[in-house]
Amino acid sequence: MLNSKMGCCLLSGSVGLVSLLSVICSVAAIGVNWGTQSTHPLPPETIVRMLRDNQIQKVKLFDADYGTLRALGKTGIEVMVGIPNDMLYTFANSEKAAEKWVSKNVSVHINEHHVNIRYVAVGNEPFLATYNGSFLSTTYPALRHVQNALIRANLGNQVKVTVPLNADVYASSTDYPSGGDFRTDIHDYMLDIVKFLSDSGSPFTVNIYPFISLYSNPNFPVEYAFFDGNATPLVDGGTTYFNMFDANYDTLVWALQKNGYGNLPIIVGEIGWPTDGDRNANPIYAQRFNQGYMMSHILGGKGTPMRPGPIDTYLFSLIDEDSKSIDPGNFERHWGIFYYDGRPKYQLSLGNSNNGSLVGAKNVRYLERKWCVMKPSAHLEDSQVAPSVSYACYHADCTSLGYGTSCSGLDARSNISYAFNSYYQISNQAEDACKFSGLSTVTNSDPSFGNCRFGITIEPDYGGSEGRTGRCFRRLLVLLSGLVLILLTIL
């Protein structure tokens, strides 16, 4: 905490934002996760502008995309870059590969592009039960090799390694935080990692999701997920817990303490609430959760009973990603505090001068206002309806349909139209993408209904350098052909 506050004071001073100094530095900074599994990602420059407009000072990435890091250059924003799980094996077995990665994906950006990289996340929840132990033996050696590479690049003090882990790496034998310890099947692996983090002055990173607890357990007391203090508290010896986050976080603190690392710094790498795709995923709950967490744990600085003080946190997430796997659930594509196109979803005070209003993305360009819908003359009973809808939903995104979602109020026809339109938009309104066995047609009147929004997609490639070059080239062609035409006419 101290570090990030000092860093931000120095930064504000050096770029001359002296008037902002007191505002920014009086509160702990909130970070956000910036994922890019999207069919239509906004250009990195647009997102970085959003981060700055909202005074978000820390960002966590899941890889080390060149364009993304370039866009973060000279902004002062603290960056955690990520190494995907599928690279762990290589780095575990080759120190040279780790060195190459550090040189290309960290050193260059720090030294030449002035990106404020502070952390390298080695793997992403590599010990999740769904991975069947695939990354158990490679995570720790990869962590060591990346750290060695950072030291060799003279970045050992400036850039710290960490491993974002799911909260399922620990559990309590008593159901109370004080019974916390690392899961028995991975206990030794965890101790290797924890000792290494401690020795190298690195933080423990944990992702905590009260929403998932509510989603996977119908008997979970809803109020216990939130921070309003309305839940029946959990009393652990002399300590009372009013929300799941505190209890879960302190279970980790106990686990660390029990194994001799009670002072290891902890970062909350992911925390958040989705807005669609499940009956408990909506903007009201998301706002309540995120704002409650901000107020109590970041701005309020209360921390947890075991660890008072503001918590270093990265919200999950900045922006929706419509091509994320929905294996965990349909909510998976709706974690953003912004929609995929950079529109804010709800009021959220980040503790700076934004006064509760998130600032959306600037200069976003949309395709034409037209939608693909079911033809009025088409029949619901048509045998092609079901396969057409399946096809559309498989390739596009129907996670806003179904019980308790934003489009749950649609009738059968509108349901089908929603699927068709989603496919049409994801296909950039290609003519061929609205030809569902004669069942569909293009319309200019917005079929949106209540909270259910039939989207218009954004231009596919208007931002990145490729997009710009492509557009430039097209314009040049048009210009040239115009000239040729004029010449021909004259001659």
Ligand X SMILES: *[C@@H]1O[C@H](CO)[C@@H](O)[C@H](O)[C@H]1NC(C)=O
Catalytic positions are: 125, 270
Which residues lie below 8 Å from residue 233, measured CB to CB, with a gap of 6+?
240, 241, 242
Supply the minimum distance, in Å, between the C-beta of residue 130 and ligand X.
Answer: 6
User: Is residue 93 a contact point for ligand X (CB under 6 A)?
Assistant: no
| Closer residue to ligand X in complex, CB, 386/476 | 386
Report the residue number, 175 or 411, with the smaller CB distance to ligand X: 411
Nearer to ligand X, 100 or 183 (CB): 100
By CB under 6 A, name the one of 46, 54, 68, 105 that touches ligand X: 105
Residue 471 Cβ vs ligand X, minimum distance, rounded to whole Å: 26
Is position 104 an interface residue for ligand X (rule: CB under 6 A)?
A: yes
Contact 95, 149 (CB under 8 A): yes
- How far, rounded to the nearest angstrom, does the alpha carbon of residue 419 sit from its chain's CA centroid? 25
Give yes or no for residue 415 binding ligand X (CB under 6 A). Answer: yes
Using the contact rule CB under 6 A, the part of the chain among 308-316, 368-376, 411-419, 475-483 near ligand X is: 411-419
Does 36 interact with ligand X (rule: CB under 6 A)? no
- How many Å apart are CA 343 and CA 388, to the nearest integer? 30
Span from 63-71, 153-161, 295-303, 422-430 in contact with ligand X (CB under 6 A): 63-71
Rank residues 203 and 402 by Cβ distance to ligand X and give the closer one.
Answer: 402
Residues 6+ apart with CB under 8 A from 399: 276, 277, 326, 330, 331, 332, 333, 334, 405
Q: Which position among 45, 53, 65, 168 is part of the footprint of ligand X (CB under 6 A)? A: 65
Rule CB under 6 A: choose which of 30, 56, 64, 299 binds ligand X: 64
Q: What is the SS3 assignment for 307?
A: coil
Contact, 263 vs 201, CB < 8 A?
no
CA–chain centroid gap for 68, Å, is 14
User: 212: closest CA among 186, 183, 248?
Assistant: 248
Tokens of 460: 């596919």
315, burial (CB in 10 Å: exposed 0-12, middle 13-18, buried 19+): buried
DSSP code string of 145-197: HHHHHHHHTT-TTT-EEE-EEEGGGEEESSSSGGGEEE-GGGHHHHHHHHHHH
Among 232, 325, 355, 489, indicate the residue that binds ligand X (CB under 6 A): 355
Q: Minimal distance in Å, beta carbon 474 to ligand X?
A: 29
If one counts every other C-beta atom within 10 angstroms of the C-beta of residue 375, the result is 16
- Tell me which of 10, 15, 284, 412 binds ligand X, using CB under 6 A: 412
Size of the site for ligand X (CB under 6 A): 18
The residue (of 100 and 375) whose beta carbon lies closer to ligand X is 100
Based on the shown chain and the rule CB under 6 A, indicate whether residue 101 belongs to the binding site for ligand X: yes
Question: Strand 31-34 relative to strand 312-315: parallel, antiparallel, unpaired?
Answer: parallel
Shortest Å, Cβ 62 to ligand X: 8
Least separation in angstroms between residue 63's CB and ligand X is: 3
Minimal distance in Å, beta carbon 267 to ligand X? 20
Per-residue contact string for residues 112-151; x = within reach of ligand X by CB under 6 A: -------------------xx-x-----------------
- Contact call for residue 100 and ligand X (CB under 6 A): yes
Shortest Å, Cβ 134 to ligand X? 6
Task: List the beta bridge partners of residue 205.
Answer: 164, 267
Binding mask 384-403 for ligand X (x = CB under 6 A): --------------x--xx-
First to last CA, the chain: 74
Could you write out the DSSP letters of every residue in 242-290? -SHHHHHHHHHHHHHHHTT-TT--EEEEEE---SSSBTTBSHHHHHHHH
* Least distance between ligand X and beta carbon 316 (Å): 19
| 50 is a contact residue toward ligand X (CB under 6 A) | no
Is residue 63 a contact point for ligand X (CB under 6 A)?
yes
Contact 42, 49 (CB under 8 A): no
Instruction: Figure out which of the listed residues 175, 185, 188, 411 binds ligand X, where binding follows CB under 6 A.
Output: 411
- Cα-only R_g, the chain: 25
Under the binding rule (CB under 6 A), the answer on residue 325 touching ligand X is no
Positions in the binding site for ligand X (CB under 6 A): 63-65, 100-101, 104-105, 131-132, 134, 355-356, 398, 401-402, 411-412, 415
